[in-house]
Structure 1
Amino acid sequence: MSENYFHADAFIGEGLRGNPAGVYLLKKPLETAEMQAIANELCLPETAFVWDDGDMHGIRWFTPSREVDLCGHGTLATAHVLLSVVNPALHDIRFRFAGGELYVARSAEDRERLILDFPSRPPQKVAEPAALAALLGTQPLEVWQATAMLVVLESEAQVRALQPDIPALIDQLGCSVIVTAPGDNVDFVSRYFSLDCSEDPVTGSAHCTLMPYWVGRLGRQVLHAKQVSSRGGELFCELKGERTLLGGYARIFLRGEINL
């Protein structure tokens, strides 16, 4: 196969376009600066770089401006490419990254749905920052903190209506911000404002924080979620101890070859 590059949309759903990711299949890892330059050239929310690392695949993820420590949609896109194009006979695949190992498997009910096994990032309740309500343009019900700040609102309509000044929000709070509320047709909805001072279309890793919160609130381990960005995305989630299982669909938009 001469193709080594794929553009795939992850966490798609009916009427939902998901989050685009680049997937670059490498024979061996590149220098960090080179991967960063390629991600900048591709200019997608994230580009995943993946290579055969012996007993599993190595993986790293880059936005156009920085490396990220964990990327759900980039992992889903990569697994989709590996399991649908590179080796369709496989049922599952393992990745090695800087924080440990990740496991992705086909769903037992639907082999096109892939299940990501990620570490949970439970949030802790914190005091509301003084400027938060003004920055968001609405009054939060609760504020929690993990790697990102988790802001809870009353309704899906409030989450959808938000129009914050994202650079100001990130600059004053100093972290990414997840905003969430009960969903009208799913268990919960969310939006995610990232350290890149933009809104992320669909954020798998954010659900590693969302799930511990919503499982605690709703009392059920299996939940259905949507990220209500302009592109929109759908996730089928389960909390299992210290792990969060993220289920979703992906599709390849284009494929070709990168020449260095």
Structure 2
Amino acid sequence: MIIPIYQADAFTEELYGGNPAAICPLAEWLPAPQMQKIAAENNLAETAFFIPQGNDFELRWFTPELEIDLCGHATLATAHILFTELGYDRDVIHFHTLKAGTLSVHRNGDKYMLDFPARAPEAAQTPTGLIEAIGGNPVAVLRSRDYFLVYEKEADVVALTPDYSALSKIDSIGFIATAPGDNSDFVSRFFAPSAGINEDPVTGSAHCNLIPYWADRLGKENMHAYQVSARRGELWCQFKGDRVLMSGRAVTYLKGEIYV
């Protein structure tokens, strides 16, 4: 069987920036173990698979280790490929997902705007070893799906050098580190070693937590954010109550075929 494959860098306008994702269009679903093997072979933070559903699409995401419940950058990358490579000619794409409901991506000039569920973090007990594993001196520890650590300033987040082996032993898919930005409203980094991703370059799902937190703290609905990984990503964010909007750009890196 031959399957088309694309790779795009999301939340960036520069090649080799943002977060790379693989995208595989399918006519029908492959068995989940086979999609997992393809994702492991690609060895990117996420590989997205989608099938048509009328004018909409069903969408699933796999890290090298597991199927994930929500992924922003691979959704943005999938929409980018549909718009630029596969002839999708409407302004809005609706993706139906297993656990995150219906997600929409709007084409807005040179950006794509994702409409995702808000997941405000709440106070949480700090698990044994978390602070030592991630480093620094967070001023607060919260949790939604992921542990959410708040630091005093951007430099604190940039300086983190986590112990990924120790982090992988803590019961959480991911770990968000965030602080006020020097040249933006807030910055963040995201670590998910148990999912096969030591550091994710730019993480849309984390902004489902970050946007409601910073909207409340800053008293702002519209915000500008950077994920300060080595590849760096840029997002324009809006808080809409039970939904969050995040916008970014994408660039295509490759297109080809895989044989399975």
- Using the size of structure 2 for normalisation, the TM-score is 0.93
The reply to whether residue 105 of structure 1 matches residue 103 of structure 2 is no
Kindly provide the amino acid, as one letter, of the partner of residue 235 in structure 2: L
Aligned length: 256
Offset at residue 3 of structure 1 (A): 8.0
Runs of 4+, deviation exceeding 6 Å: none
- Larger mean CA deviation between 151-160 and 34-43 belongs to 34-43
User: In structure 2, how many angstroms separate the alpha carbons of the residues matched to 1:82 and 1:212?
Assistant: 29
Aligned to 2:212: 212
Distance 2:152 2:189 in 1: 14
Give, in angstroms, the shift of residue 170 of structure 1: 3.1
Per-residue deviation, 1:106: 1.2
2:165 to 154, 167, 179: 167
- 129-138 or 242-251: which moved more? 129-138
TM superposition shift of 1:88: 5.1
Segments of structure 2 that go 5 or more residues without pairing to the other structure are: none
Partner of 2:145: 147
Partner of 1:40: 40
**Cα distance change, pair 130–190 in 1 and its aligned pair in 2 (3 A):** same
Secondary structure of 1:245 counterpart: strand
SS of aligned partner of 2:93: strand
Answer yes or no: is the 8 Å Cα contact 1:13–1:233 preserved in 2.
no
8 Å Cα contact 2:15/2:253 also seen in 1: no
2:49 match: 49
In structure 2, how many angstroms separate the alpha carbons of the residues matched to 1:172 and 1:88? 42
- Secondary structure of the 1:86 match is coil
C-alpha distance in 2 between matches for 1:217 and 1:131: 27
Cα separation, 1, equivalents of 2:89 and 2:55: 17
Please tell me the root mean square deviation across aligned C-alpha atoms, in Å.
1.8
**Partners of 2:13 and 2:251 within 8 A in 1:** no
Instruction: Quote how far apart the aligned CAs of 1:19 are.
Output: 0.5
Q: What TM-score do you get using the length of structure 1 for normalisation? A: 0.93
Q: How does 1:40-189 map to 2 (within 5 A)?
A: 40-87=40-87, 89-99=89-99, 100-107=101-108, 111-189=109-187
